[in-house]
Structure 1
């Protein structure tokens, strides 16, 4: 196991790459990329960095030259032979050859496209524009780079012994969480922490801790590189990016209303089993379920990713019952702002009523709260989202209005089309 404190202390060569592999990314990005490669290869999309935590002034903390070096390094990467063999030949979700040959040939030849970087009012404006299958693969490495450069900036002035104590305290915190979690009967939990991790080494350490401490209760990681290295399951399905872009491409209100279902119809043709997971909240869960086609009720489960998670799960249970489905056979994946208290409470409320699973993100792989002066390593909310498609703005509404994004006039239109009523504003923790 790597001595993380020593490794952090010895940043004394010209560039210490944060992202060293194109598969140091979340599994759902590759699954979605293959679907987009098949269904929307010519669509032009722009992604942009969005820092929801304005008090964290990234451009004041992170050197622009160092950021450019890290981003340029990612542009030099391509799949290794071992990575390609793993993607082509490994079994994912019980399916061999998940990734088709035409997609793999394209991916093996890929280099990520250029980026645009500017500073404005203490923040970085980082954007990526190009063909959708190419630019979408910038999201995870861009976030991982900025999060880790922020960590490095805070840790730069610390001596080796101070770093050793810091990481010992952080490790103890993770292990205390493990000890609480392994007391939960029937727990199923995966690592979803790539995007806003403290560092790659720290995420890998957390995954190893979960493997040893939770055994079969730990179902895998969203990070493909770590899944390959540690020989565990790669976990993930799809994300808000798909309906956001499909909706932006709609030519009328009627097409807009159907866009979230068109996404899932395309997905339905490619995947089955545990990959058929509904993510209903992009434009409000209630409206999505009200107008959902009957065939969606037969899907395996639902991911709850915004709003009150208990209300979301209760709504899913009611919807399945109304459609003649047995909720006890359905999978509910909770994945928004989780930590141990919330995991314990949600498991108590829903175990036995549905199949419960958790995708644990930032507060697994980046919980250094209170461990340094001024809480300078506290996690914050940084995202990289598709902001336009073929020149049209994208919109996300969510079940939490504090996560909404898009131009005001388009947000108003989407609220009307998707019949979005009053919503409860909740703090965005991460």
Structure 2
């Protein structure tokens, strides 16, 4: 099976899931799959994907895995006890081929019981596609990996350029992912700060990395506060759960302008930093640094995390531009875990509804927004004082 452990997912799924258990255990949600790469016929592999999903739904957390989670400082005992009873249930998932060759994949049910589907489903779809459509060139993959490591090590004051693996969902395969991480650990040393993947963190003695994803802030659009207050309420809810731990805030759920309006001096001082996941990274960093300074917060005490489609060229550019002005961290995904020759897929699973109401991400990058209700997108833009964007869908 492609997924052999429920820990084979990103840490922020567990951190969000714990907060859902404690704060919104009755919330219901809907997620939808989308392949952004044109001309990809995933439907022909629907039976193989479905078989892998059946295997995923048979998995349970092992005692060793639960003990590992229990040892993380921010994971509470009651959440681990809940995970001891947990499994992914196929009844919350609808999978069928569409006439266009796309997959129609919808996840719908209690947020608490569906939140862990996203990452392993994307990893399954990705690996099924590549095992059926390509032959891996392991030697070329190794050559490219070593070249990246050499370039990262050659940066001035390299340990200040913190590198993390964020590549689970779009990796070439689980085997390749497991093969490259020990090399990053051993050759980059302290410069390699960890991985988002909890299973590999446990197996290879790495630090699991991650805080929140877009769905945490999207859900608050339907969880009770005024829509205009939803982003601030999501940050308040996070702080209530983690009391200053896991303090990297995501900045692009309704665009940077709206984020900066909501991220006032209280949040600037409370959170450890911000993460960039769409738009122009240099412009984003300059505006965030200026915002911190304007709110009486020393940017050099905060971490700017860049994670939007990074490769080594972008890491080097951003590191040289911002070095010494703030703390820097870079979450590299596909460029590490799926760079063996074949073109990676751009596939996502996004929350589209919560408690029966539409929710949306309004990305700073064209084409990354996703919502099934264009009327709601227009309303969301109006509420957050954003200009209309015809590309939203």
TM-score strictly above 0.5: yes
Question: Counterpart in 2 of 1:233?
Answer: 207
| Deviation of 1:248 (Å) | 2.9
Instruction: Pick from 74, 77, 89 the counterpart of residue 101 of structure 1.
Output: 77
The answer for unaligned runs of 5 or more in structure 2 is: none
**CA–CA separation in structure 1 for the residues paired with 2:196 and 2:390:** 29
**CA–CA separation in structure 1 for the residues paired with 2:331 and 2:80:** 27
Instruction: Pick from 197, 203, 207 the counterpart of residue 171 of structure 2.
Output: 197
Instruction: Pick from 377, 398, 404 the counterpart of residue 369 of structure 2.
Output: 404
TM-score normalised according to structure 2 size: 0.94
* Aligned 1:242-391 pairs, distance under 5 A: 242-250=216-224, 255-273=226-244, 275-298=246-269, 299-368=271-340, 371=341, 377-391=342-356
**CA–CA separation in structure 2 for the residues paired with 1:43 and 1:399:** 28
Contact 2:95 2:103 in 1 (8 A): yes
Contact 2:265 2:296 in 1 (8 A): no
1:110 and 2:86 correspond: yes
1:419 and 2:373 correspond: no
**CA–CA separation in structure 1 for the residues paired with 2:161 and 2:241:** 29
| Deviation of 1:274 (Å) | 5.6
CA displacement 1:195-227 (0-9 Å, x = unmatched): 111111111122112112211100000000000
CA displacement 1:219-275 (0-9 Å, x = unmatched): 000000000000110000101001111113347xxx011111111111112225561
Task: Give the 3 Å change call, closer, same or farther, for CA 274–101 of structure 1 in structure 2.
Answer: closer
**CA–CA separation in structure 2 for the residues paired with 1:134 and 1:379:** 29
| Secondary structure of the structure 2 residue equivalent to 1:148 | helix
Contact 1:249 1:392 in 2 (8 A): no
| Deviation of 1:292 (Å) | 2.8
| Deviation of 1:40 (Å) | 0.8
Contact 1:400 1:424 in 2 (8 A): no
Instruction: Pick from 140, 145, 160 the counterpart of residue 174 of structure 1.
Output: 145
**CA–CA separation in structure 1 for the residues paired with 2:266 and 2:247:** 11
* Aligned 1:11-90 pairs, distance under 5 A: 17-60=1-44, 62=45, 64-89=46-71
Contact 2:381 2:388 in 1 (8 A): no
Contact 2:350 2:370 in 1 (8 A): no
| Deviation of 1:293 (Å) | 3.5
**CA–CA separation in structure 2 for the residues paired with 1:341 and 1:274:** 31
Contact 1:47 1:136 in 2 (8 A): no
CA displacement 1:361-406 (0-9 Å, x = unmatched): 11110113xx3xxxxx211210011111121111110111321111
**CA–CA separation in structure 2 for the residues paired with 1:270 and 1:182:** 37
| Secondary structure of the structure 2 residue equivalent to 1:411 | helix
**CA–CA separation in structure 2 for the residues paired with 1:423 and 1:236:** 30
| Secondary structure of the structure 1 residue equivalent to 2:343 | coil
**Aligned length, in residue pairs:** 383
**CA–CA separation in structure 2 for the residues paired with 1:132 and 1:27:** 17
The answer for unaligned runs of 5 or more in structure 1 is: 1-16, 372-376, 426-430
